[in-house]
Chains A and B, each alone.
Chain A
């Protein structure tokens, strides 16, 4: 069974620190990798996607992908209290539904 694993947290970091969120996946055929942010009571919001090994940066966010280790991570630099949310990792192969992890809850304290 295809699985995506995330540490449920909560991950607590002080304001201004780097938050590191990790995700592993079981299907070696996975091709696309996504990070979504979900605030309590709201639907998920796409933050980034990555499909090549290495790093991809977008503002304060950096996604890292290592297909050999079946590992994808999200770094949030200069964390803000507004970043406090649940972060969902999702993977898929082309044309198939996303498989979501259960999410990691991030808490940024001011």
Chain B
């Protein structure tokens, strides 16, 4: 149980285009999902916290107009990188919280974005 999927797993796009990444909790309902970014050989950086039916909470330094997050249901959150630029190339990972006493987070497999 506690499986989280992400789609696509890899995307290459031209500078200036927008890219949408989906994160789904497959076998549990996740009221909270998180979006992280990880550059090579660096630690995970939390970008935003997404709660179903409400606006996402962005971490300091993360542009909310550039990284649009929609948490439309208890099993789906999307991250759209708008007008992507080469510096946005990174490994984007979502996680979903299973709730309960420990609030365990389960990670999706990640999406590797390359902006040319």
Contacts and interface: CB of A to CB of B under 8 A. Distances in A.
Interface of A: 32, 34, 36, 41-46, 49, 51, 88, 90, 92, 94-95, 97-98, 100-103
Interface of B: 34, 42-44, 46, 49, 91, 93, 95, 101-110
A32 B107 contact: no
Contacts of B107: 36, 43-46
Main secondary structure of the interface of A (DSSP, over half): loop
B104 A100 contact: no
Nearest to A95: B103
B102 A49 contact: yes
Most buried by B among A32, A41, A92, A98: A98
Cβ-closest 8 pairs across A and B: A43-B110, A102-B43, A43-B107, A43-B93, A32-B102, A44-B107, A100-B44, A43-B109
Nearest to A86: B43
B33 to A, nearest CB: 11
Contacts of A43: 91, 93, 107-110
Contacts of B105: 34, 46, 90, 98
Contacts of A44: 44, 93, 107
B44 A92 contact: no
B101 to A, nearest CB: 7
Contacts of B108: 43
B106 A92 contact: no
